[in-house]
């Protein structure tokens, strides 16, 4: 293969395969196709792909099982599941195993390209939370998708980190020792007024209280614990891709 980004399309539907293949080739990507899971596994054995677009529902071996086997061959494969069906259990299984995300049919090609570009670009994410399990969730979920994740266990530590580095996105837990998440956010905003921040909470009242504060537009949203993997992935992809388009360059570290 040459230096172009390589994409494997795995789908038993002829029209979908050929349409994706033609569009991606026209856009300058190297594209290959597989009609089922067995052919996909063989192609991955023969070549390394940057991105794999995998249909969930296929005869014989479904997309999730195919993905699991591909992961054993190419552990760092960036796999995006595609589906037109309500197969939430299969989707959750794939995401837990490390699939990059989900695209729903009929495909929005702008969304497809955005996901591909997001995987190639990555981004810098800061997570501020004293809960070790939550921090491991973020690192495991995002680092396998090309993001660089920094952890701060307290508001004070987060502030020092932000003084030295810039981040595409900052997740802050509302409940932190000594210094609250809200106080941490306000201090970070003084250092970097443009910081895109997501507040995290297990309590709806905290979120309601947050919305009453005059925080401005830089609090992007808030997440309720326990987190939904797909929601976090889509949120980070969207923000980091938007930042790349706006700045045209990576954050300085």
Same domain, 129 and 197: yes
Mean pLDDT confidence for 190-203: 80
CB 95 within 8 A of CB 138: no
Query: Is residue 1, in this structure, part of any structural domain at all?
Result: no
Angstrom distance (rounded) from CA 232 to CA 87: 19
Task: Indicate the range of 42-51, 77-86, 97-106 predicted with least confidence.
Answer: 97-106
Specify which of 60-69, 152-161, 185-194 reaches the highest per-range mean pLDDT: 152-161
Same domain, 110 and 205: no
Pick the more confident residue, 121 or 15.
15
Q: How confident is the model at residue 66 (pLDDT cuts 50, 70, 90)?
A: very high
Show which of 70, 104, 119 is a domain's final residue.
Answer: 119
Q: Which two tokens stand for residue 181?
A: 């998440």
Q: What pLDDT is attached to residue 234?
A: 67
Query: Is residue 29, in this structure, part of any structural domain at all?
Result: yes
CB atoms within 10 A of CB 91: 22
- Rounded mean pLDDT of the chain? 77
For the cut 80, the answer to whether the pLDDT of residue 67 exceeds it is yes
Q: Give the Å distances, CA to CA, from 177 to 95, 153, 230.
A: 31, 9, 28
Angstrom distance (rounded) from CA 196 to CA 227: 19
The CATH code of the domain that includes 93 is 3.40.50.2300
Same domain, 163 and 236: yes
Angstrom distance (rounded) from CA 113 to CA 195: 25
pLDDT in tens, 204-252: 444 444 444 444 444 444 455 565 666 666 666 666 655 555 554 444 4
CB 35 within 8 A of CB 55: no
Same domain, 65 and 31: yes
Q: How confident is the model at residue 113 (pLDDT cuts 50, 70, 90)?
A: confident
Q: What pLDDT is attached to residue 227?
A: 57
Query: Is residue 252, in this structure, part of any structural domain at all?
Result: no
Query: Is residue 253, in this structure, part of any structural domain at all?
Result: no
Angstrom distance (rounded) from CA 220 to CA 235: 10
Q: Name the residue range of residue 164's domain.
A: 122-247
Of 67, 62, 112, whose CA–CA distance to 85 is shortest? 62
Same domain, 24 and 128: no
Query: Is residue 234, in this structure, part of any structural domain at all?
Result: yes
Q: What pLDDT is attached to residue 140?
A: 79
pLDDT in tens, 127-158: 999 988 888 888 877 876 667 889 999 999 99
CB 16 within 8 A of CB 105: yes
Q: Tell me which residue has tokens 């009242």.
A: 205
Same domain, 114 and 130: no
Pick the more confident residue, 96 or 184.
184
Query: Is residue 235, in this structure, part of any structural domain at all?
Result: yes
Query: Is residue 157, in this structure, part of any structural domain at all?
Result: yes
Show which of 119, 147, 177 is a domain's final residue.
Answer: 119
Counting the structural domains of the chain, the total is: 2
Same domain, 191 and 78: no
Pick the more confident residue, 135 or 84.
135
Pick the more confident residue, 226 or 106.
106
For the cut 60, the answer to whether the pLDDT of residue 27 exceeds it is yes
Same domain, 133 and 109: no
Same domain, 65 and 158: no
For the cut 80, the answer to whether the pLDDT of residue 53 exceeds it is yes
Same domain, 85 and 165: no
Same domain, 162 and 73: no
Angstrom distance (rounded) from CA 211 to CA 205: 10
Same domain, 10 and 106: yes
**Residue 147: its H or E element:** strand 147-152
CB 198 within 8 A of CB 220: yes
Query: Is residue 39, in this structure, part of any structural domain at all?
Result: yes
For the cut 50, the answer to whether the pLDDT of residue 69 exceeds it is yes
Show which of 66, 94, 119 is a domain's final residue.
Answer: 119
**Residue 205: its H or E element:** helix 204-212
């Amino acid at each position: 293969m040459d230096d172009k980004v390589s994409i494997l399309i795995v789908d038993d539907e002829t029209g979908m395969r050929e349409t994706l293949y033609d569009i991606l080739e026209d856009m300058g990507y190297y594209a290959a196709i597989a009609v089922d899971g067995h052919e996909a596994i063989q192609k991955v054995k023969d070549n390394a792909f940057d991105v794999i677009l995998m249909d969930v529902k296929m005869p014989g071996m479904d997309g999730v099982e195919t993905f699991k086997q591909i992961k054993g061959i190419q552990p760092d494969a960036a796999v995006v599941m595609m589906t037109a069906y309500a197969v939430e259990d299969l989707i959750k299984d794939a995401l837990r195993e490390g699939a990059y995300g989900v695209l729903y049919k009929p495909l929005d090609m702008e969304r497809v390209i955005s996901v591909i570009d997001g995987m190639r670009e990555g981004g810098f994410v800061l997570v501020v939370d004293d809960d070790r399990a939550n921090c491991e969730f973020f690192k495991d979920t995002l680092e396998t998708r090309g993001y660089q994740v920094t952890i701060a266990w307290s508001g004070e530590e987060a502030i020092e980190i932000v003084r030295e580095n810039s981040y595409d996105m900052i997740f802050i837990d509302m409940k932190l020792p000594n210094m609250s998440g809200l106080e941490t956010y306000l201090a970070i905003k003084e250092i970097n007024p443009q910081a895109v921040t997501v507040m995290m909470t297990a309590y709806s009242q905290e979120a309601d209280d947050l919305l009453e504060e005059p925080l401005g537009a830089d609090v992007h949203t808030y997440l309720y614990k326990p987190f939904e993997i797909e929601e976090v992935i889509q949120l980070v992809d969207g923000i980091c891709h938007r930042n790349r388009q706006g700045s045209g360059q990576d954050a300085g570290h």
